[in-house]
Amino acid sequence: MTESMFKFDRQFSAEDAKITHRELSFSGFFQIETLTLQHALFNGGEIHPIKRELFVRGAATCMLPYDPEADKVVLCEQFRVGALGGKASPWLLELVAGINDHGESPEQVARREAEEEAGLQVEKFAMICEYYPSPGGSNEWITLLCGKVDSQGAEGIYGLQHEGEDIRVHVLDREDAFALLAAGKINNAAGIIGLQWLQMNYAELQEKWS
């Protein structure tokens, strides 16, 4: 593969946007802030002051559990309120995931959530990517990892009752997980990105982790 010669330079930085007023509009399990702001325009000058509601979620970590010895993937099935009222079932097939507590590294979050949500111990990590899942209205920042696990005996019901969790864990052959992805049965961003990454990298992982 030849290296691309294209170079991308952003025209603006964070200094080219300014918040003139911030108001807490809602505070519950999450928060919503109403921001008044201005930012630079590509053709010069500044946009007139605009208001935007910001869903404050902060940082979270998602991890795709992969067993290179058995060549299996572990997925979590659970109810998601954001999918209620959509065309498909609101019970989604997802990766292990959790909100980062203050001072926690993504790897610490992944280890904690892997044990709570799927009874898994993580041996090693591989970085997949970091991204904003919905930057048009939320500040959530996702770190997406792949974790080496032993999937034997992982199937079952997990989750913390006091956090309202009810999680059914599935252990699938890697190719079966890819088939679910191709059929549109995995319809959340972290799951799609993680499994597409695994499609490109599983041979290297098997060599490194086996």
The set of catalytic residues is 163
N residues, the chain: 210
Residue 132 burial class via C-beta count within 10 angstroms: exposed 0-12, middle 13-18, buried 19 and up:
exposed
DSSP label at 15? G
H or E segment and range at residue 92: strand 91-94
Cα 183 vs. chain centroid, distance in angstroms?
A: 20
Radius of gyration in angstroms for the set of CA atoms belonging to the chain, rounded to a whole number: 20
Please state, in angstroms and rounded to a whole number, the distance separating the CA atoms of residues 161 and 176. Answer: 30
**Sole residue written with tokens 């009810």:** 166
CA dihedral 146, 150, 151, 153 (to 10 degrees): -150
| Chain mean position to CA 62 | 4
Helix (H, G, I), strand (E, B) or coil at 186: coil
Residue 137 structure tokens: 């209205």
